[in-house]
Amino acid sequence: MALTYLDLQNEVKRRATRNDGGQNYDTAIKNSINSSLFRIAREALWRQLRRKTYITTKTSYTTGSGAVSVTSAGTTVNVTGATFITDGIEVGRRVKISNDSTYHIIRQVTGETSFVMDSAYAATSHTTATYEILPQEQYNLPLQCGHKVFLWHEEYGSPLQMEYIPDQEFYYASWNLTQTSVPIYYRMWSENMLIKDILTPTSFAVFSSDSDDTNIDISIFGTVEGYPDYEVIRNNGVTVTTGSKTFSDVDRVVKGSSSYGRISVTASGDTSIVYSVLPVGDTTAGLQRRKIQVYPLPNTEFDINVYFYKEPLRLVNDNDVHELGQEFDEAIILLSVSKIKGEDGQNETSTFYALYKDEISSLKKTNSDKIDWFPKLHRPYRRGNDFIVSGLKYSQLGANYGPSRRY
């Protein structure tokens, strides 16, 4: 079993400070251990960090169709019988309403039966219109999903690896953004700490799954009245605590200390609308949620498999154990000692760093993943000037892989 956080601290202190019994180096040692952990995680594709899971697509939504009220030149739509919030309808999805040729974009979900569009309804007023919210384009990748990731599914009856395509190349191709079929491409661009975008400008509430989580500050950073702003809401166990500021957008949600339970950040008026969940233990730096956009829009609901290398969590409590395993203890210690000695101007800095590099080289021989999928050539007439069918994309392996064009 890997050493605990406290064991690592003690060993780094012993080697870096020659058994200095004081506390002068304690904070520096803790920081160096975590930064070393993150650095080592980036050194190679470690088997210990390889994970797999799946995401489920969402197709068209028409609940309540035929009972749609919309006013000419208006942007608010009311749909009797719909349950938008319960069914997880998110902002950003496109919607088509009868008698109007425009595909509008949902900008706000204002209730279970109403939403606001980005542009005005161009036809005559209706009380019994039909509508269709197009399939969902954007999905969250798993928590702590690193940049090494690939997606595949079996919706065609056999495994198909989805192809990563940069946004610039995607829009340069001028594809039909409303096309529905089986997704074969994905794009990656946005990243934040929310499970989903804010449905409508709102203030937030926080509460924990554990009554012992009192006096934990939850900091929310985002946009208030068009300007960057933040608010700190102090969690009070399982009791719901409400903030006062109304956010139209949020970038980060972090907690000030470790927690015993899961802390939920919800809409203040409806705690069933969950925007973020901070897991048990440490996430003081927050958990990033990377987003992907699939194309074409999914015409059925099915699972997309996600294979990825996760980013390790920060160590906080003395009994925390890092995720790389005991074989990596020595590398973490050596790199941490090298950092402490370097900050202190000691002559042994390069010696410990050389020992670290030798240890990493040895770990790579036994613990780094062997690539089990490869790029291969294809016929010249396919994909225009591109001459490689990518297995791993250039964004995953380097500039020599993927499409020949660069933007």
Whether residue 143 is predicted with pLDDT greater than 90 in this model: the reply is no
Whether residue 367 is predicted with pLDDT greater than 80 in this model: the reply is yes
Q: By the 8 A CB rule, do 334 and 17 touch?
A: no
Whether residue 246 is predicted with pLDDT greater than 80 in this model: the reply is yes
pLDDT of residue 346: 79
pLDDT of residue 380: 42
Whether residue 225 is predicted with pLDDT greater than 90 in this model: the reply is yes
Dump pLDDT digits (tens) for 202-218.
999 999 999 999 999 99
Instruction: Indicate left, alpha or beta for 131 from its phi (over 0: left) and psi (-120 to 50: alpha).
Output: beta
At residue 371 the predicted structure's pLDDT band, cuts being 50, 70 and 90, is: low
Whether residue 250 is predicted with pLDDT greater than 60 in this model: the reply is yes
Whether residue 401 is predicted with pLDDT greater than 60 in this model: the reply is no
Highest mean pLDDT among 107-121, 137-151, 333-347, 363-377: 107-121
Pairwise pLDDT comparison (285 vs 392), residue with the higher score: 285
pLDDT of residue 281: 82
Residues whose CB falls within 8 Å of the CB of residue 197, separated by 6 or more in sequence, listed in order: 90, 91, 92, 249
Dump pLDDT digits (tens) for 258-268.
899 999 999 99
Q: What is the distance between the alpha carbons of residues 40 and 362, in angstroms, rounded to a whole number?
A: 13
pLDDT of residue 283: 63
Pairwise pLDDT comparison (1 vs 65), residue with the higher score: 65
pLDDT of residue 389: 43
> Average pLDDT for residues 370-391, to the nearest whole number?
47
Label the pairing between strands 185-192 and 163-164.
Answer: parallel
> Average pLDDT for residues 297-325, to the nearest whole number?
92
Q: What is the distance between the alpha carbons of residues 80 and 61, in angstroms, rounded to a whole number?
A: 14
At residue 285 the predicted structure's pLDDT band, cuts being 50, 70 and 90, is: low
Q: Provide DSSP, 20-57.
A: --SSTTHHHHHHHHHHHHHHHHTTS-BGGGEEEEEEE-
Q: What b/e string do you get for 359-376 counting C-beta neighbours within 10 Å, with b at 16 or more?
A: bbeebeeebeeeeeeebe
Dump pLDDT digits (tens) for 3-27.
999 999 999 999 988 766 567 788 8
Dump pLDDT digits (tens) for 79-126.
999 999 999 999 999 999 999 999 999 999 999 999 999 999 999 999
Surface-to-core class of residue 136, CB atoms within 10 Å of its CB (0-12 exposed, 13-18 middle, 19+ buried): buried
Whether residue 396 is predicted with pLDDT greater than 60 in this model: the reply is no
Highest mean pLDDT among 170-174, 292-296, 368-372: 292-296
In this prediction, what percent of the chain has a pLDDT beyond 70? 88
Positive or negative torsion for Cα 297, 123, 171, 248 = negative
pTM of the model: 0.84
Q: What is the mean pLDDT of the chain?
A: 88
pLDDT of residue 23: 76
Residues whose CB falls within 8 Å of the CB of residue 345, separated by 6 or more in sequence, listed in order: none
Q: By the 8 A CB rule, do 8 and 324 touch?
A: no
| Helices and strands, counts by H and E, the chain | 6, 26
Helix (H, G, I), strand (E, B) or coil at 139: strand
Kindly state the tokens that stand for 323.
Answer: 């995720």
pLDDT of residue 189: 81
Q: Provide DSSP, 354-382.
A: HHHHHHHHHHHHHHBPPP----EE--TTT
Whether residue 382 is predicted with pLDDT greater than 60 in this model: the reply is no
